[in-house]
Structure 1
Amino acid sequence: MSIPAANLMTALRSGHSTSPRLTWYGPDSERVELSGRVLDNWVAKTSNLLQDELDAEPGMSLRLDLPAHWKSFVWALAAWQLGMEVVLDDGAADLLVTDTPDDAAAAGFQAIVAVPLAALAMRWPGELPSGVVDYAAEVRSHGDVFMAHNEPEAGLPALRGSAGHEHGDLLEGFATGQESGVRLLVRAANGLEAGLAAALGAWKEDGSVVLVHPDLDVTQHLLDNERVSGS
């Protein structure tokens, strides 16, 4: 049986696949909208990068050292459908995904991935420490469909943050309850863990997410334009 995260990705790419599922508002008038199909495409490419380039497999851990951002949501989903544990605290992990790779150059990870947060970034802006993988430069070359080499088990750890959760518990014990079909406002200022819990809850109920950078005001114009129905 597939783990809940894998079932969720199947639902996002097959049900109302052209409808918005994740919309990001960032600095400098940045707006990124991902349909279910496009979100699944990003997640599949990222899972394939993990599996094929970084030798990731079920049971391994990935520290997600990123703010609440659409790319960090992609990374969490990619790790989860692979059967990995997403680490949101400062604990040990096999792999590190970060937007500050210079700070991690000497850390003891099997691999480090640098993620530029600018929406249109095609590569990391500047020099990277030796051995650090440039996510923006590498991810597009990977396949649009993810096929797991090894089937993960529901009892494997899925999340390490303020509490721990197994994969089988991810959508029931971690995701926050939402109304069916909700168009949910998620404030990035509340942090990555809270954002992921809210987003999983919305997607579980066939809803969508509007994620807003901490520096931006959530205006009535934004809420009306995005037809937000929950917050």
Structure 2
Amino acid sequence: MSRVLPELFAAAVRRDGGAPFLTYYDDASSERIELSAVTTANWVAKTANLLVDEYDLEAGETVAIGLPPHWLGVVWALSAWSVGASLTSGTGALAITGPDFAIRGERETVASALLPLGGRFREPLPDGIQDYGAEVYNHPDVFVPFDPPTAESPAYDELTHADLINQADAVTDRILVTRTLTDRDGVRLLTGVMSGGGSIVLCRNLDPAKLERRVADEKVDRVIQGLEG
């Protein structure tokens, strides 16, 4: 059994790399993107390299993710863990925010415009905020950590990698969710999907009238209700 979250994700990639891992919808913008495990891993590697090479993020530091339900939240969580950093519900040394610039990091703040394919902002950003979409594509698709996490390394606040893996219920099916996957309950759910070999349909701004059709189109096995966030 994998002892750390990057190993758990790597096992999911090896198990069925070409299968859908995360399918994202935004009914307000009509966006749909489907990420296989391999494609997700490419984004994770690029982002982890960005964190180390551009923002000097080190093992043991904290990352705050202030994004709405979005596929990039999953990428950032996996990237932070790959570097050996921990997610935090408080103020992180580094923060990732959306176009609302709702949170700031103690040392670095990175913003995503939340445009399709992680696109860059179309207008200049406020001072002190870096543009994720302008930087991430310049980084390699392979990441080798200098100081990888251990089972006892923090993963989310006081929870270690071992805690999250041991507490997560394995998810073997395809689930539809409408909540963020980067808070405490969200990372447990994400860990369960990686552990069980399931997949996620993540819907932001879900139009209730489209739910039944989406379940059918995406071959969803289970809808997790009451978890908006």
Q: Same fold (TM over 0.5)?
A: yes
* 3-state secondary structure, aligned to 2:33: strand
Percent identical: 36
Residue 97 (structure 1) shift: 0.8
2:204 maps to which residue?
A: 213
Residue 13 (structure 1) shift: 2.3
1:114 maps to which residue?
A: 111
* 3-state secondary structure, aligned to 1:32: strand
2:97 maps to which residue?
A: 98
* 3-state secondary structure, aligned to 1:6: helix
Contact 1:45 1:145 in 2 (8 A): yes
Unaligned runs of 5+ in 2: 224-229
Tell me the number of residue pairs that the alignment of Structure 1 and Structure 2 aligns. Answer: 221
| TM alignment of 1:194-209, pairs within 5 A | 194-209=185-200
Cα distance, 1:133–1:205 mapped onto 2, change above 3 Å: same
Distance of 1:78 and 1:190 partners within structure 2: 14
Provide the aligned C-alpha RMSD in A.
Answer: 2.3
1:229 maps to which residue?
A: 221
The ranges of structure 1 where at least 4 consecutive aligned residues each deviate by more than 6 angstroms after the TM superposition are: none
2:42 maps to which residue?
A: 41
Cα distance, 1:69–1:124 mapped onto 2, change above 3 Å: same
Contact 1:12 1:37 in 2 (8 A): no
Residue 145 (structure 1) shift: 0.8
Contact 2:22 2:199 in 1 (8 A): yes
1:168 maps to which residue?
A: 162
Contact 1:102 1:128 in 2 (8 A): no
Residue 29 (structure 1) shift: 1.8
Distance of 2:189 and 2:101 partners within structure 1: 31
Residue 103 (structure 1) shift: 5.0
Distance of 2:102 and 2:25 partners within structure 1: 27
Contact 1:3 1:152 in 2 (8 A): no
Residue number among 155, 158, 161 corresponding to 1:158 in the alignment: 155
* 3-state secondary structure, aligned to 1:15: helix
TM-score (norm 2): 0.87
Residue 101 (structure 1) shift: 6.3
TM-score (norm 1): 0.86
2:226 maps to which residue?
A: none
| TM alignment of 1:1-231, pairs within 5 A | 3-26=3-26, 27-88=28-89, 91-100=90-99, 102=101, 104=103, 109-160=106-157, 164-173=158-167, 175=168, 177-180=169-172, 182-188=173-179, 192-217=183-208, 218-231=210-223
Select between 31-40 and 191-200 the one with higher mean Cα deviation.
191-200
Contact 1:22 1:209 in 2 (8 A): yes
Residue 108 (structure 1) shift: 6.0
Cα distance, 1:188–1:92 mapped onto 2, change above 3 Å: closer
Select between 28-37 and 191-200 the one with higher mean Cα deviation.
191-200
Contact 2:62 2:88 in 1 (8 A): yes
* 3-state secondary structure, aligned to 2:176: strand
Select between 3-12 and 71-80 the one with higher mean Cα deviation.
3-12
Question: For 1:15-55, what per-residue CA distance to the aligned partner results, in whole angstroms no more than 9, with x for missing partners?
Answer: 21111000001122211100010010111111111111111
**AA partner of residue 55 (structure 1):** D
Residue 2 (structure 1) shift: 7.5
Residue 141 (structure 1) shift: 0.8
Residue 229 (structure 1) shift: 1.0
Distance of 2:87 and 2:142 partners within structure 1: 21
Cα distance, 1:215–1:224 mapped onto 2, change above 3 Å: closer
Contact 2:4 2:150 in 1 (8 A): no
